[in-house]
Structure formats: structure tokens, C-alpha cells
Amino acid sequence: MDVFKVGNDLILDPLNKKVIRNGDDISLPELSYRLLLELVEHAPEIVPHDQLIKAVWKDRVVSDENLKKRISRLRDSIADNHSEPKYIVAERGMGYRCVATVRKIKRSESAYNDIGDFQATYYSIKRLVSRLPIWLVASFGVLAIGMSSFVLFHHENENPPNEISETPDYQAAQSYLKFTEKDNDTAISLYQDAINREPQNASSHSGLSDAYLRGYWHYGKDKAWLELGKKHAEKAVQINDDLAWGHKALGLAYYLSGQYENAIASFNLARQIEPSWGEIPAYTSLVEIQLGHFIKAHKLAILSVELDPGNPFTNAILGELYRQSYRFYAAEEQFSKTLNIDPGFLMSRLLFSEYLLESGRHVEAISVLRDVIHKQQNSQQARWLLGLALLIDNQIEEAIDEFSAASSLGGRYYLSAAVYLAALKKDRSELSKLGEQIAKLKLDGDQWAELTFLEGIVLLINDKGTEATNKFESAIFGGLTTTYRYTHLPINSSITTSHRFNELLNLIESKNKDKMPKRIPPRT
């Protein structure tokens, strides 16, 4: 069987499943090897996503996301640079192709020749043995048999054909993509194992970052997980600045920290490296929504679905864009679509619940959120939203229980739940401490408008109505224009019936109308 010479320095030997670069063996996981072989065999043609997925994963069902991450890992392994690619180029919306010149050469012509190497070694040993005493010759014979057995066994197992024998980072990614708390914890352990084996592997640091950030965002883990997520994302970028995964993870860390300009900068770098990765514009859209840039957010959300139409995450973010821009009819259709793709996908169900609350269907939201909590007990966001839904339904004691549960967990909504809990209990001392924490976060650069809104509640409970109203107004201009948050506060105050407060509600309505694209008539 012939071997392939790829460019000037890469040799691919299909018979022995060997990849050589500049004379050095490259140890590729089986899936990466299959991917490289498929691209090389079809060079310079574009290989569609579906064809690559079938060639690499055989009969397994995987998403384009798996393919993108596998491409990134392959690039890492063969030292390919996305900015100046030598081997692999992404063709937006179509697939990937090998751009290096590929030549088939006879095995005897290649720089890599197992048989020749073996023969040379054999004759060298023979010459050495002929000069040795007979007792040492016998010892060499035993050693040779052992070495032969080892070589044969090692060769058969060097590139195992199934994913069970894959490297820890591959197994970690498979656990992570199951999207449960238990599997996320497993992914963290496996990524840590991979990093212990290979500390300078940027992909492993990126994956570990993603898992830590998901734990903070969705599974009730404390702020230390957010910091660890950011730390490993920064390490990934330091090791390999051309790995989109690292920049994407760093962007998510910035987003969850409320540092929106930094988040956009990181996501934009990731998009430049991997323009066909659909999740990246979806994440960027989330940030643009927070900044009130709805035209940009809309374009990005649409693009993300076009790039990755079968991904529940990209579809859920488009639904969130429609909700935030008060296009409720479109939001309803989009959430129906994403829930059909994967009825149990946590992000879809949480964002759908927020849509139900915003559209006045809090009873339906209560049902959805209780089901989410039954399956994901440590989903802080689900408990926070359920507390809000119960507050709207005037089930105050039940709302207190949910806010208490949410504030006992770590995550993005800790302060929100803690402030509501303290306000409902009229605990001014606790609110004062929480107010100090909020002020520190804002001083550190957290731009989340939720924090300003919470400051308003702290002021309101301390009978500072004018200052509280000013904070609410700042929150509205900061982008928090969710009407029910202002009409269902965790405190009864005469300020809510004042002319000034009614002006704020009118301002919210005006701001929300401005979010709607002018060419699309408002729909409710």
C-alpha cells in the first residue's frame, strides 16, 4: 500500500496507521487519524461535514460541534496554524479540505520505511552478537523474544479502533457533552488527568475551562469554579493562541463575570479562527443582548443557527433574542423548535421558562421549572426563576423556600436570590452586607444590569425611595427591561404607586418597543 506525502514534512502511512512529521512520530487518537486520512484521501476537494462525521464516527450520531472540536485537536497535533494554514482549511457552510499538496509515493521511496529500519537494526544486532560470549548470546535471545512480543503487542494497540481506548481528553469531551452535573464532574476529572499527562495541551485546558464554567453557570458551583474556568482558558490561550476553543472559553468566563467588552473581544478572536463554529456567534449574541445592541445580536443569532441548525444551544439563543426584543410570537415558535431538537436540554428549558414569565404565563413556568429541578436539583437558575414565578403567583412562603435554596447554591444568581430572600424576610443587616458585595463587583468591572437593580431593592428596603427609583432607572438604561421584575418586587412599598414609578414603567415599555426591528410589526 502506498503512503501519502502531505506538503513538505508530513507522511501518512495508512497500512501502519502512522503519521510522521519531520521524521518524528505523531501519536494521534483514532478519531483524529480517521479525520486526517479522510481529508488527505480527498485532497484538494472540500469534504462535507456529513461525510467527515460518517468517516470518523461511523454509525454514531454526533453533532457538528464534535467535528469542530476534533478539527481543532487535529490542528494542534500536526502543528497547523489557522491564521496561516498549511494543511486544513474550513470552507464556511460546506466542510473542510486539505490544502497541502498530497502525493502518493511508493513505500520504498518514502523517508519512513518500517521494513528497512527493522532490517538495518537486525543486521547491526547480528554483527554485535557475533562478537559476544555464548552465555550473553543466549540472554539476548530471550530478550529478543520478549522485545518481539512487546513490539507486536504495542503495534496492535498503538491506535486502538474504538473510543473506549481514546485519550482522557476525548473521554472527557464525551462526558461533558452529555450535559448533566454528574457527567460534567466526570469530565473535569478526565481533563485533569489529561493535563497531568500533558501539561501543555491547550485543548485539555480549554475543555477543563468549559466544564468549570458550566458547573458555575448551571450546576450550583461556587465562584471558585468561575475563577478556575478563567484560569484554564487563559492557560489555553497562552499555550496556543490559534485555538478557537480557548478564546471561546475565555469569552464565556468574561461574560459570566459581566465584563462584556472583554467577552466580545475573545469571542471575536474565536470567530476569526473558526468562522464556521456556530456556537461562537450565539455566545456573542448573548453579550450583545446585555449591551442592548439588538441589531448586532439578531444578526449573530441568525448566523449561529445557519451554521449549526441542529444544535439546541444555537436555537435557544435565537429564541432568547426574540424574547429580549419582545417578538413573542417568533420566540414561541423558536422555543418550540429548540425543544423539539432536544426536549431535555437545560438551557432551552430555562430560557423558555423566562419567556413564559415575561409573557404572563407564570403558572406554566412553575410546571416547567419544577420538572427541571426534579431532574437537575442543583440548577440554581431554575430555583431562582421558580422563586420569581411563585412570587408572581403570590405564593410567598414557597417563593422564600426557592430563594433560600438558590442562595445556598453557588452560581450567577446567588446575589439575586440572596437579596430577594433578605428583602422578603426584611433582614436589613443581611441586605447591607449584600449591598457591599454588589458594590465591590461593580467596582471590579461587572456590567450586569441586574446588580444595579438589586441595589435599588436594597435602598428600597431601607426606606430610600428616591435613591431606589434612580437605581431602577439606571438598571433600565443598562438593559434590564423585564417588566414583571418591576411590577413584582420582593417588598411592598408606596413608591410603586407613585407617579415617578409609573414613569419608569412607561420608560420600560418605550425601551422594549425600541428593541423591535422597525420593519417587523410588533406582535404579542
Segment 421-446, tens digit of pLDDT: 999 999 999 999 999 999 999 999 99
50: confidence class by pLDDT, cuts 50, 70, 90: confident
* Residues 52 and 42 sit within 8 Å (Cβ to Cβ): no
Q: How many CA atoms lie within 13 A of 419 on its CB side?
A: 25
Return the H-helix or E-strand segment holding 168. helix 168-176
Q: In the chain, what is the straight-line distance between the N-terminal and C-terminal CA atoms, in Å?
A: 66
The mean per-residue pLDDT over the stretch 348-353 comes to 98
Largest Cα separation within the chain, whole Å, is 108
Give the residue extent of every domain in the chain: 3-106, 116-157, 424-515
Position 166 scores a pLDDT of 55
Position 62 scores a pLDDT of 78
Q: For cell 448533566, what's the residue?
A: 180
The mean per-residue pLDDT over the stretch 357-386 comes to 96
pLDDT above 70 for 108: no
pLDDT above 50 for 187: yes
Query: Cis omega (within 30 of 0) on the bond before 309?
Result: no
Position 242 scores a pLDDT of 85
274: confidence class by pLDDT, cuts 50, 70, 90: confident
Phi and psi at 7, nearest 5°, equal 65, -145
- Number of helical H runs and strand E runs in the chain: 25, 8
Distances (CA, A) of 344 to 312, 372, 373, 376: 10, 8, 12, 10
The whole-angstrom separation of Cα 362 and Cα 360 is 6
* Residues 243 and 273 sit within 8 Å (Cβ to Cβ): yes
Phi and psi at 4, nearest 5°, equal -105, 135
The mean per-residue pLDDT over the stretch 255-270 comes to 96
Question: E-assigned strands of 175-286?
Answer: none
For the ranges 144-153, 305-314, 381-390, the lowest mean pLDDT is seen at 144-153
The whole-angstrom separation of Cα 397 and Cα 390 is 9
Pairing status of strand 95-98 against strand 88-91: antiparallel
Distances (CA, A) of 216 to 142, 195, 230, 434: 57, 21, 11, 19
**Vertex 309, ends 183 and 304: CA angle to 5°?**
90
Classify burial at 46, counting beta carbons within 10 Å of its beta carbon; exposed 0-12, middle 13-18, buried 19 or more: middle
Q: For cell 478526565, what's the residue?
A: 190
The mean per-residue pLDDT over the stretch 470-498 comes to 93
The mean per-residue pLDDT over the stretch 477-496 comes to 92
* Residues 175 and 183 sit within 8 Å (Cβ to Cβ): yes
For 258-311, where are the alpha helices, taking DSSP H only? 260-273, 279-290, 294-307
Position 1 scores a pLDDT of 63
Position 148 scores a pLDDT of 41
Residue type for position 243: L
What architecture (CATH level 2) is domain 3-106?
Answer: Orthogonal Bundle (1.10)
Phi and psi at 224, nearest 5°, equal -60, -30
For the ranges 16-30, 90-104, 152-166, 297-311, the lowest mean pLDDT is seen at 152-166
Strand ranges across the sheet with 47-48: 47-48, 95-98, 88-91
The mean per-residue pLDDT over the stretch 329-338 comes to 96
The mean per-residue pLDDT over the stretch 43-59 comes to 87
pTM for the model stands at 0.71
Which contacts of 415-421 are long-range, i.e. CB under 8 A and separated by 24 or more positions?
Answer: 415/441, 415/451, 415/454, 416/384, 416/450, 416/454, 417/380, 417/383, 417/384, 417/387, 419/454, 419/457, 419/458, 419/490, 420/387, 420/391, 420/457, 420/490
Residue 277: closest CA among 93, 86, 97: 93
